[in-house]
Amino acid sequence: MATTEAAAPRGTLQELAKRHLWMHFSRLGAYGDGADIPIIVKGDGCYVWDDHGNRYLDGLSALFCVNIGHGRTEVAQAGADQARDLGFFTTWSYAHPPAIELAARIANLAPGDLNRVFFTSGGGESVETALKLVRHYHKLTGHPNKTKVIAREVAYHGTTMGALSATGVTALRAPYEPFAPGGCHVPNTNLYRLPPGYGAENLAEAVAHRIEFEGPDTVGAVIMEPVQNAGGCFTPPEGYFQRVREICDEYDVLLISDEVICAWGRLGHYFGAERYGYQPDLITTAKGLTSSYAPMGAVIASDRVAEPFLDGTTSFAHGFTWGGHPMCAAVAMANLDVFEREGLNEHVRENEGAFRDMLESLRDIEIVGDVRGAGYFCALELVKDRDTTKSFSREESESLLRGFLSAELFRRGLICRADDRGDPVIQLSPPLIAGPEQFEEMEAVLRPVLEEASRRMLHH
């Protein structure tokens, strides 16, 4: 609505939001007459407030992001302080102290020989970068046909055209095909609903079967989250990643650990791979790296992956203007200072049991079929019949999640995620500073809402 007059746009925030803001992954049609867009105006610790002054427990860390909690002005201030010295300079053939220091710090924290850090502006860019790096690496090492990537069903790896070929959620893929070729999928580690022909002990074999099926000389990488988010916090069975690692080695396939969510304390360690004791060739990350006080992501590469790029005239012909932005890097450093100072990884490890116990205590509610996850990253799966694990139909799930649960949980002051990219789940992923007081508050909302959901869905 460009006009020649520079008039300030008129209307309340609500009206302006409805008219101008294109919210991501949102049904804009849901906010027609009457229904308000939630407008969050303030955050402090584990809580946020909307524009009417209502307080909410942020049980999702603002989409798995604000790991150290809201309102840490000193972390944002580190960005402003950096701007006094150098507000921006590019890392295209230049370096600056914040990017150098952060790269060295990340390399020091990352497992094994993951020593080389390529900065991005977010998770999707990190995945996109890793996928291109895999192709380039294999071309440089004499395997130009190793271009395919194996991911898992229902996994979310981002929305750019490359990352989307790894994303295994049909509804997010279908409207945008064709995208970068080469994405193939294997069953995930949904232990509540194991795929036919597999048990927990041999799930990793699906990766080997797929590599054989595709042709080993065409497969470049396997990409997996330590705990898969979409579908509802699928943890790996014992030995799963060790076997995936062996398979990758056997077929000269790189293992990408997509830790956009699972790094930075979410599972009680700096990296999810640490928790499950495996060594990836690449880690992709974002979100909690800065606790999202500034947008930043990274790909962390092993010495082996970086090696072919270190000599002669070769360069990784890839980059983003803002990769390693000095203000964002300074914010990331301040964020990691908070982790160290407050022992946040230890705090999660000490309190995850209490978090889990609270969720387990909800199993007496008829609609709760499964409780799963790790660290501060858990899900409840909602089912129609607990004895048979029968799930809800698409229509029932729609009416359960969008017709009732999401709005009711929010109305009662709990932000969490009611999701049905797989079967219907409620996901909880609070800031890492949360403790028993917040778990009690979650229960005080979840219990009555789930009881009511049971009545509506199972006994109407």
Ligand X SMILES: Cc1ncc(COP(=O)(O)O)c(C=O)c1O
Min separation Cβ 134 and ligand X, Å: 15
Min separation Cβ 284 and ligand X, Å: 7
| Stretch of 154-162, 204-212, 407-415, 434-442 lying at the interface with ligand X (CB under 6 A) | 154-162
Min separation Cβ 229 and ligand X, Å: 5
Grouping H, G, I as helix, E, B as strand and the rest as coil, residue 234 is: strand
Min separation Cβ 62 and ligand X, Å: 12
| Stretch of 152-160, 197-205, 334-342, 390-398 lying at the interface with ligand X (CB under 6 A) | 152-160
Q: x/- contact string, 267-296, with ligand X (CB under 6 A)? A: -------------------x----------
Nearer to ligand X among residue 166 and residue 338 (C-beta) = 166
CA-based nearest residue to 13, from 47, 38, 43, 48: 38
Among 118, 137, 156, 241, binds ligand X (CB under 6 A): 156
Helix residue spans in 251-325 (DSSP H): 272-276, 303-306
Distance, in Å, from the CA atom of 89 to the CA atom of 84, rounded to the nearest integer, reads 13
Min separation Cβ 128 and ligand X, Å: 9
Nearer to ligand X among residue 278 and residue 392 (C-beta) = 278
Residue 263 touching ligand X (CB under 6 A) = no
Residue 298 touching ligand X (CB under 6 A) = no
Q: Give every CB contact of residue 185 below 8 A, 6+ residues apart in sequence.
A: 150, 151, 152, 153, 155, 168
Among 70, 136, 152, 157, binds ligand X (CB under 6 A): 157
Alpha carbon 115 to chain centroid, angstroms? 22
What angle (nearest 5°) sits at the alpha carbon of residue 29, between those of residues 27 and 35?
100
| Stretch of 77-85, 123-131, 359-367, 435-443 lying at the interface with ligand X (CB under 6 A) | 123-131
Distance, in Å, from the CA atom of 449 to the CA atom of 425, rounded to the nearest integer, reads 14
Helix residue spans in 94-239 (DSSP H): 97-109, 123-140, 161-166, 170-173, 205-214
Distance, in Å, from the CA atom of 126 to the CA atom of 295, rounded to the nearest integer, reads 12
Give me the phi and psi of 389, to 5 degrees please.
60, 20
Cβ-in-10-Å burial (0-12, 13-18, 19+) of 237 comes to middle
Residue 225 touching ligand X (CB under 6 A) = yes
Min separation Cβ 160 and ligand X, Å: 8
Nearer to ligand X among residue 257 and residue 453 (C-beta) = 257
- Structure tokens, 323: 């990769």
Min separation Cβ 123 and ligand X, Å: 2
CA-based nearest residue to 25, from 196, 156, 132: 156
| Stretch of 1-9, 120-128, 315-323, 428-436 lying at the interface with ligand X (CB under 6 A) | 120-128
Residue 130 touching ligand X (CB under 6 A) = no
Among 127, 362, 371, 425, binds ligand X (CB under 6 A): 127
Which amino acid, 15? E
Nearer to ligand X among residue 100 and residue 172 (C-beta) = 172
Helix residue spans in 145-277 (DSSP H): 161-166, 170-173, 205-214, 240-250, 272-276
Among 43, 98, 111, 124, binds ligand X (CB under 6 A): 124
Among 59, 69, 98, 122, binds ligand X (CB under 6 A): 122
Among 91, 190, 229, 429, binds ligand X (CB under 6 A): 229
Nearer to ligand X among residue 128 and residue 370 (C-beta) = 128
- Structure tokens, 21: 């803001």
Nearer to ligand X among residue 130 and residue 450 (C-beta) = 130
| Stretch of 122-130, 204-212, 311-319, 330-338 lying at the interface with ligand X (CB under 6 A) | 122-130
Strands 425-428 and 417-419: antiparallel
| Stretch of 54-62, 117-125, 209-217, 357-365 lying at the interface with ligand X (CB under 6 A) | 117-125
Nearer to ligand X among residue 286 and residue 358 (C-beta) = 286
CA-based nearest residue to 193, from 404, 450, 422: 422
Direct distance between the N- and C-terminal alpha carbons of the chain, in angstroms, rounded to an integer:
48
Nearer to ligand X among residue 24 and residue 341 (C-beta) = 24
Token pair 């895999």 is at which residue?
Answer: 134
Cβ 290 vs Cβ 82: under 8 Å:
no
| Stretch of 36-44, 118-126, 266-274, 423-431 lying at the interface with ligand X (CB under 6 A) | 118-126
Rg (CA), the chain: 22
Give me the phi and psi of 134, to 5 degrees please.
-60, -50
Q: Which residues bind ligand X (CB under 6 A)?
A: 122-124, 127, 156-158, 225, 229, 258, 260-261, 286
